[in-house]
Structure 1
C-alpha cells in the first residue's frame, strides 16, 4: 500500500461507523437458513464489476498468535494459513507462535519495519499489545485484532471476536429445551479458568439463560482448559453430586478428561454439552454413543476471517451482504449449538483436540 493510499485509508477509517454482528441467544440457538443460503460470503463487486475474490493488488499480511498449546489455538493458525493460500494476491508472513509478550511485540515491530500492508494479530495479552498495534495503525498498516481485544479500540481497524457470553446463553437455552421445564433438575457446570473474563462471561450467559426457564446451576467446578484439569475437576464434581440431569463443560479440549472421568465413574443418567467445537466431540455427537449430545461453537476460524477482512480493507473493498461500503469495525461471530441433527454442517470447520 502506497503512502497516499494509506493516508486515504486512515481518513476513511476515522469516519467509519462501528458495527457488530451480535446474534442474541434464544431457545432456537441458531438462525434459520434455507438450503440454498450461501455459507461463504461472496464479496461485493469491486470497481469494474469483478468479484472481490478475484485477484487484485498484492497484499502482504503479517500474522502473529500465541503458542499452539491447545487444539483450538493450533486450529487458529492453521485456518489462517489455509485461507491465505486461497488467494494468489496474498503473501502471508507468519511469526513464530509465542506466549512471550515481549517477543510478540518485537514480532509486530518487525512487521512494521518490513512495511507490510496489514497485520492480523491474536495477542497473548491484548492490553500489552495495544501500544504496538496503535503504532502500526499510525503508520498506515491495517491491523485486524482477533479474539483477545486491545484496551484501545483505535489499535485496530477491524476486530473479530467469538461470543463467550453467547456460548453460555446457547448452552443454557439448549439445556432448558431438553429438560422441558423440569423444575427440580440438577445442572452442573465445569468451567475454565475462573480468573479469566472469558470464563466469567460464559458462566454469566449460562446462568442468565437457565434463569429464563426457572433453572440454576446446582454444582460448579473450575478447570484449566486441559484434559488433565478437566478429568480432575469432573471426578470431584461427580463425587459431590450423586445425581445430575445435565452438565455443561466450557471447553472440548478439557472435555477429553471430563469424559474419561465420567466413564471411570460409570455415570450416564445425565446428558452433557461441550464447548468450542472440536472434531472429536462432533464425531461423538454424530455417533450418539455417549452422554455427550451437543457442543457450542467458539469459532477457530476467527483469524481466517481476519485474513479475508485484511485483504478487503487493503484493497479498498467491502462485504457483499452489507449495504455499507466499508468493512465493519467489529464483527462478533455466533455461538451455535451443534447436535446430531446439524453436525455435518459444522464438521468441516471443527478443530482437532
Structure 2
C-alpha cells in the first residue's frame, strides 16, 4: 500500500467507480453514446492538443500498486491525443529519481509521479516544476507544495473512520462488543492514520471495545501469520478490521484454518478477491473500505487537462484544483456489483 499520504485538500466524494469520470467530463474524446465506466472517460469533449505525459511509479510488487500502473496505462489509451511515457518503476529512490530526470530531459508536457518516498523525491519534483513541467503528485505526497501542481490521493484517516463506523453500526445493539484490528506496517504514517480514524469512530459506540491490535506487512504471508496469532490470543470477538485486502487473503486463510466464523470482517483497499467474497457472502468478510487505485486514471485525466490548459467540468474555476482527496466508500453486499469492475487482482 502507499507509503505516505495526507488528508490535505478537498474531501472529494467520488466513489471508486467514478473517481475518474467525475474529473474527466472536460477532457474526454469519447462519444455521448459511450458509458462512463471506470475505464471509460466521460463524454463531453473532442480530441485537443497532443499531450505527452510522463508516468513514474514505484515497483508493482503489491496488488494495489500494480492496479495503479494498469489504471494509468488504460486511461491514457482512451485518449487519441495522449502519449504516455512510462518508466519501469522502482522502490529504490535513487533509481526513481533517475527515471524522472530522464522524463524531464525528454521534455514531457506533464509528469504524473507516485513516489516510492515522497520526502526523498521532493527535490526532483521541484526540478520538474522549475523546468516548466507541471507535476501531478499521486498519493504519496511531496514535502513541499512547490514540488507539484496538483496532489490527488486517498484518505487513510477516512478509511479507518468509515470501517469503524460500519462495524459500529453493525454492533451498536450488542452489549460488551469486542473488536480487533489487523493493521499494516506500523512505521508508515498511513497505518497510524487508519488506526486513528478507526479509534475515533469507535468512540461513538461506548458498548464496543477494541481488545487487540496486530501489525502486519501488507503481504499475504504476514496477514496469515499475524491473523493466526490474533486468533490464538482472542478466543472471542465480534468484528475484525483488516487494513489491506492483499494481507487479507492470508488473514482469511488463517481464519479458515482455525475454523472460526463467529465474527464479521471488514477489509481495506478494494481487491477483486474481496469483492467476490463479499458477493458470495458465505464467510466472515462482509465489507471492504476503498482506497481506490482509480486515482491513477484520474491523475492521467488531470495531466491531460493541464497539458491542454483546461479546467475540470463541473467546477466553475478555469484551473484544476490544487488537491483532491478521494472518498473511502464502504463496499458491502448491497453495492458490491457497482464496484466489481474496479477490483484489482
Partner-residue secondary structure (3-state), 1:248: strand
Q: 1:40 Cα shift?
A: 4.4
Q: Does 1:186 align with 2:178?
A: yes
Distance 1:152 1:337 in 2: 32
* TM-score, normalised relative to structure 2: 0.89
Bigger Rg, which one: 1
Q: Which residue of 1 aligns with 2:249?
A: 256
Q: Which residue of 2 aligns with 1:141?
A: 133
Asked whether the 8 Å contact 2:269–2:292 carries over to 1, the reply is yes
Ranges in structure 1 where 5+ consecutive residues have no aligned partner:
1-18, 25-29, 32-37
Q: Which residue of 1 aligns with 2:109?
A: 117
Q: Does 1:43 align with 2:32?
A: no
Q: Which residue of 2 aligns with 1:155?
A: 147
Q: Which residue of 2 aligns with 1:92?
A: 84
Distance 1:209 1:54 in 2: 45
Partner-residue secondary structure (3-state), 2:328: coil
Report matched runs for 1:232-251 at 5 Å. 232-251=225-244
Q: 1:127 Cα shift?
A: 0.7
Q: Which residue of 1 aligns with 2:3?
A: none
Q: Which residue of 1 aligns with 2:216?
A: 223
Structure 1: which 4+ aligned runs deviate by more than 6 Å? none
Q: 1:319 Cα shift?
A: 0.9
Work out which of the residue numbers 308, 321, 328 in structure 1 matches 2:314: 321
Distance 2:144 2:252 in 1: 40
Q: Does 1:65 align with 2:65?
A: no
From the superposition, tell whether residues 52 and 123 of structure 1 become closer, same or farther in structure 2 (CA, over 3 Å): farther
* TM-score, normalised relative to structure 1: 0.87
Ranges in structure 2 where 5+ consecutive residues have no aligned partner:
1-7, 29-42
From the superposition, tell whether residues 146 and 41 of structure 1 become closer, same or farther in structure 2 (CA, over 3 Å): closer
Q: Which residue of 2 aligns with 1:213?
A: 205
Distance 2:166 2:27 in 1: 39
Distance 1:42 1:188 in 2: 40
Asked whether the 8 Å contact 1:230–1:254 carries over to 2, the reply is yes
Q: 1:301 Cα shift?
A: 1.2
Q: Deviations over 1:155-196 (max 9, x none)?
A: 000101100000000100000111124241110000000110
Distance 1:73 1:180 in 2: 35
Work out which of the residue numbers 165, 174, 178 in structure 1 matches 2:157: 165
From the superposition, tell whether residues 334 and 76 of structure 1 become closer, same or farther in structure 2 (CA, over 3 Å): same
**How many aligned residue pairs are there?**
320
Q: Which residue of 1 aligns with 2:336?
A: 343
